Amino acid sequence: NAGVTQTPKFRILKIGQSMTLQCAQDMNHNYMYWYRQDPGMGLKLIYYSVGAGITDKGEVPNGYNVSRSTTEDFPLRLELAAPSQTSVYFCASSYSNNGYNEQFFGPGTRLTVL
Amino acid sequence: GQQVMQIPQYQHVQEGEDFTTYCNSSTTLSNIQWYKQRPGGHPVFLIQLVKSGEVKKQKRLTFQFGEAKKNSSLHITATQTTDVGTYFCAGRGAGGTSYGKLTFGQGTILTVHP
């Protein structure tokens, strides 16, 4: 199993540009999550999904959108990129097990908005 | 909303010294998980605690969950250079439908000097 994969690894955007961060998992996990990690900070939940077709906002959803058309994929869309979105983005997945489930993280995408 | 605070933010130790990081939640937790993130890497699951007063050990690492299920600690005995990284606690609130969502602490960055 490849686990959780993310592309791209690095990206530089100009202010106002848009992009999609890709995330895929091959573990047949129902739950998927997007986090951002700012320097010296913990992980902030952006959006999450409990299954295909079901998504919900996390702690910091403004400026982002998600979709979940399949169990495997959970892309994160940035519209009108702003410098405040400079961060490392992690995608994660877990089994549906009443919440008592470890999260498996992808390698991350390092995004810089200039 | 639920807040999880972690202290200290930084810890520098000499190899062989012990290390402890503490995690405190503003609300009662159903469970707490600990993750380790190596420099430049992604968070990796270490352990989960569920029961009040629970203590678990992994070699030199000892994890505790408080009696009130609002705090936790990670203690490393005789640190090694391989212990370098950021240690995160992450808790899920008791009750309600949190769908496996975890609230992460801001992490403790451990540096070990050989």
Q: What is the pLDDT of residues A46-79, one digit of tens each?
A: 999 999 999 999 999 999 999 999 999 999 999 9
Is the CB of A41 inside 8 Å of chain B's CB atoms? yes
- Does A106 score more than 70 pLDDT? yes
Report the range out of A1-5, A41-45, B85-89, B94-98 with the highest average pLDDT: B85-89
| Residue A40 to residue B106, Cβ atoms within 8 A | yes
Q: What is the pLDDT of residue A100?
A: 76
Average pLDDT over residues A89-102: 84
Which 28-67 residues of chain B touch chain A by CB within 8 A? 30-31, 33, 35, 41-45, 48, 50
The CA-atom distances, in angstroms, between A41 and each of A37, B23, B82 are: 6, 14, 22
pLDDT at A31: 93
Residue predicted with more confidence, A97 or A59: A59
Residue A63, judged by CB atoms within 10 A of its CB (0-12, 13-18, 19+), counts as: middle
For residues B11 and B110, give the distance between their C-alpha atoms in angstroms, rounded to a whole number: 5
* pLDDT at residue B100, as a whole number: 64
**pLDDT > 70 in chain B, percent:** 95
Cα angle for residues A73, A78, A81 (degrees, 5° grid) = 160
Q: What is the amino acid identity at position B66? A: G
- CB A4, CB A28: distance < 8 Å: no
What confidence category does residue A98 fall into, taking pLDDT thresholds of 50, 70 and 90?
Answer: low
Provide the β-strand partners of residue B111. Answer: B12
Averaged pLDDT score across all residues of chain B: 93
Taking the C-alpha atoms of residue B19 and residue A20, their distance in angstroms, rounded to an integer, is 40
Is residue B64 over pLDDT 90?
yes
A101 versus B51: the higher-pLDDT residue is B51
Q: In the numeric block, which tokens belong to residue A46?
A: 């952006």
CA distance A53 to A15: 30
Q: Do B9 and A101 touch (CB under 8 A)?
A: no
- A99 to B98: CB separation less than 8 angstroms, yes or no: yes
Tokens of B65: 């969950």
